[in-house]
Amino acid sequence: MTFLEMLGAAEQRNQSLLCVGLDPDPKRFPGAMQGDAGRIFDFCAAIVEATADLALAFKPQIAYFAAHRAEEQLERLVQHMRQVAPHVPVILDSKRGDIGSTAEQYAIEAFERYGCDAVTLSPFMGFDSVEPYLRRHGKGAFLLCRTSNPGGNDLQAQPLRDVEGQPLVYEHIARLAQGPWNLNGQLGLVVGATYPQELARVRELAPTVPLLIPGVGAQGGDAAATVRSGWRGTRNADGKVQSSGFAIVNSSRAILYASSGDDFATAARQEAERTRATLAAAQQE
């Protein structure tokens, strides 16, 4: 199955737009795990098991593993995901951005070493920094477009005066992803939930590409507004959702650290259920 086919199957099976972000910080682990980087796999595996039937995707953030020399734990974690949630695609959040043979090595890292289904990329160096990932049949790639951090304005909201119509940088990236750069049909965009108007604009310019939307939960993005702005689809006669433009709405810390006690996995499931229900309600508006 291609990445988009996996998304469609996971959406149908789990009836969800929720992406569970895995940003493991040992300082925030519960109980006896606290401060122990050797327990990163154990912590994340418990979260995965608790939310396997609720998630549209899982998104491990590579820096949280690499900073603690836990890359082997990440490899084990992706393998564990394949066992307990084989229907849920895995997006490696690495935000790579380099050219030529270096980009090819990063593609090997994401798709062969870790075995992920999609990856996040910076498009700053242009198409030749993206193209090596598109050679991988069926693999997804999400380009940073309009990110949730305030500093995104420094570049993403600037006009391109030498391009017809003088679009803003993020608008130009959206058009490229919808059109000439989308060689394998699996390209998507990262757009923050904290900017719902810009999110709606990206969806207007890129009506069919999947949008990976961080910023819901601890960052304060409004889940319902996010769905209204970024998701496009219908409900079938049996009431199930069919997307024409996927919205993969990520929540990380609000789910991971819903409790600091031994009930952390149960609390994570409850928070994931609450967020999934909020997103589903917005789909019906």
Q: What distance in Å separates the CA atoms of residue 173 and residue 208, rounded to the nearest whole number?
A: 14
Residue identified by tokens 């980009």 is: 103
Positions annotated as catalytic residues are 95
First-residue to last-residue Cα distance in the chain: 31
72 within 8 A of 36, measured Cβ to Cβ: no
**What residue has token string 């609000």?**
254
Closest by CA to 193, choosing from 151, 155, 229, is 229
- How far is 265 from 268, CA to CA, in rounded Å? 5
Whether the Cβ atoms of residue 95 and residue 212 lie closer than 8 Å to each other: no
Please, what is the Cα angle at 164 between 162 and 165, to 5 degrees? 110
Check: CB of residue 189 under 8 Å from CB of residue 145: yes
Q: Which residue has the tokens 């910080």?
A: 25
Are the beta carbons of 15 and 236 closer than 8 angstroms? no
Q: Centre a 10 Å sphere on the Cβ of residue 8 and count the other Cβ atoms it contains.
A: 17
Inter-residue contact 100 to 127 (CB < 8 Å)? no
Q: At residue 114, what is the residue type? A: Y
